[in-house]
Chain A
């Protein structure tokens, strides 16, 4: 019954992200059930599905927060299944969390400065013996962080503690954080949840801009269908731990199976 249209989005070079037959069990519950999908370079791919479909579990498995029981995760054709989170990050994959996980006792500015990989000052002996180098890098990183803050309109909050931001501002901070890393692929977990309309519009404009101008690929989980329909192409539908279908937003919207998964899965059983 599964509708496949792999051919439509096939590229000659390997996809920026490919998930093959991923399985993850939590005790008796099979959260991911031979889940397979591909994310093509330069797309904003939407990932939707009813609650409990395994979307966030998939993100956790991709980013190395836990090992899948079987299956593989590849980026540009290279296996990253067994890498820890920081290893996944080093392959150019960033993610945000459903509930923002800012570093609450640090300023917004330093939350961003933290992200830059391989800083000289991260080796503590450099702070004693090569302070000039650390000073110079800090200035560069600070300037870059201010640019990113400007991009997400948080400049006025640069010296505020991240823990004091509003929910929506934290979401913007999460997006800003991924930009400090200059990623190839960004996984966004419900970027618009709890964000008001104005902020949401800005958020989606930012995402679209980054795809267009910087060539960053996005895979985003979202429950706000307006946002998904406007922003994403293609859209992947997950249900019960596997991919149900994939297609243009219009196709997905009109597919009876999707409707069934949402309504049947959520309300039929109740």
Chain B
């Protein structure tokens, strides 16, 4: 095994352990052991078995799917727990992305300032930016929820869809805020000096040698670890509160608001709470996305790309099930990415039907996702993984 493959394998290890923990059943200690062994084997086998290019693609695929998993978890805390039909996921995603960008980038100076404008640039570290993204998105969610959560079901959907569009237009038109219609560039990638030559000065020589064969193109392997950790933290935190008396109240409000109110629950506050929690998570997803793609602009946050595909993910995986939210994100992102290859391969056949059909492959992809959604709603409305019957994990397990 060459050093470059070994170094890449070392980055794959942690995400695979986390995946194993999510998938394997059984007692905690046994599960951890199983996950570590399985992850070690897979991490070593994958670089040997797959060509390097494919492995890099797989890593960037998983990174993007992980970002969608965060979004999907955020939506689950709104739709799955409390039944909010939030069609404005893109709005909170955008707020998170631009917030983190503003907090972590450097204010443009000199000649650059003529081309690039932004409200402020604080050069905060990555994690602080992510946290601020969550906080600001949660705050925006709170402000919006006061008027909007008086609405229910499809009316709420229309209102949130509109708000997400308003947010997108603000970022498109307000040049002073985040460079308006032009992209905001140069969003720092956390620890990208690991892959630079020479590597970060504070790095111990042994680690630097270990990483030496890797080039900046391999940065995605490191970012995959970052995304996996953030997905894990969000999943655990959300799972904890969803499976608690708090989650029980949310489910009660979702099932039957009047009865929940007559059981002494403040329905309005509960609804706002879960909306704000979801907004926070979506904001975090935005930040993770911004630092991954480095350059963002308003066009990234359109409803198709950032709202409806997230809905399909959650519906497919299983509304109300946090594992389902993650599973759905990976499954739909696989369909979406795979469709590109399939349409590419099928282009001779498409050309046979009509000369300009291959150039419209992008629309065929969307059609595929739409058909998928229709299929889910018709044949398996509860999704792949069902919601669990018992809500509270704080209930004693004995008896």
Residues from 150 to 164 in A contacting B, C-beta threshold 8 Å: 159, 161
Q: Which residue of B lies closest to A117 (CB)?
A: B264
**A161 to B389 Cα, complex, angstroms:** 7
CA distance A113 to B259 in the complex (A): 14
Given contacts A138-B392, A142-B396, contact A103 B245 (CB under 8 A): no
Chain A residues near B392: list those with CB within 8 A: 110, 113, 121, 138
Q: Knowing A90-B264, A107-B389, A113-B248 touch, does A102 contact B241 (C-beta < 8 A)?
A: no
| Distance of A117 Cα from B266 Cα, bound (Å) | 11
- The answer to the question of B297 belonging to the interface, with a C-beta cut-off of 8 Å to chain A, is no
**In the complex, A94→B254 CA distance in Å?**
20
The answer to whether B256 touches A102, judged by C-beta atoms less than 8 angstroms apart, is yes
> A167-185 CB contact bits vs B (8 Å, 1 = yes)?
0000000000100010000
Across-interface contacts of A142 in B (CB, < 8 A)? 395-396
**Contact A103 B240, CB 8 Å, known A89-B264, A131-B394, A177-B263:** no
- Which residues of B are in contact with A by a Cβ distance under 8 Å? 237, 240-241, 244-246, 248-249, 251-252, 254-256, 258-267, 273, 277, 387, 389-392, 394-396
Are A103 and B256 touching (Cβ within 8 A)?
Answer: yes
Interface pair B264/A110, CB less than 8 Å apart = no
- Looking at B249, B263, B389, B391, the one whose CB has the most chain A CB atoms below 10 A away is B263
A120 contacts across to B, CB distance below 8 A: 245
Nearest B residue to A133 by beta-carbon distance?
B394
**Quick check: B259 and A101 within 8 Å, CB to CB?**
yes
Docked-complex contact A134 and B245, CB < 8 angstroms: yes
Residues of A within 8 A of B (CB): 63, 65, 84-86, 89-90, 94-95, 97, 101-107, 110, 113-115, 117, 119-124, 127-128, 131, 134-135, 137-139, 142, 159, 161, 177, 181
Q: Which residues of A contact B245 (CB under 8 A)?
A: 113-114, 119-122, 127, 134, 137-138
Instruction: Tell me if B's interface is mostly helix, strand, loop or mixed.
Output: helix
Complexed CA–CA distance, A137 and B245 (Å): 10
B249:A122 contact, CB within 8 angstroms? yes
A–B complex contacts, Cβ < 8 Å, 27 sampled = A84-B261, A86-B261, A86-B262, A86-B264, A101-B256, A102-B259, A103-B255, A104-B256, A105-B387, A105-B389, A106-B251, A106-B255, A106-B389, A107-B390, A110-B248, A113-B392, A114-B252, A114-B260, A115-B263, A120-B245, A121-B392, A122-B249, A123-B246, A128-B237, A128-B240, A134-B394, A139-B395
Pair A121/B240 contact, Cβ less than 8 Å: no
Whether A127 and B241, one on each chain, are in contact in the complex, defined by CB atoms closer than 8 angstroms, is yes
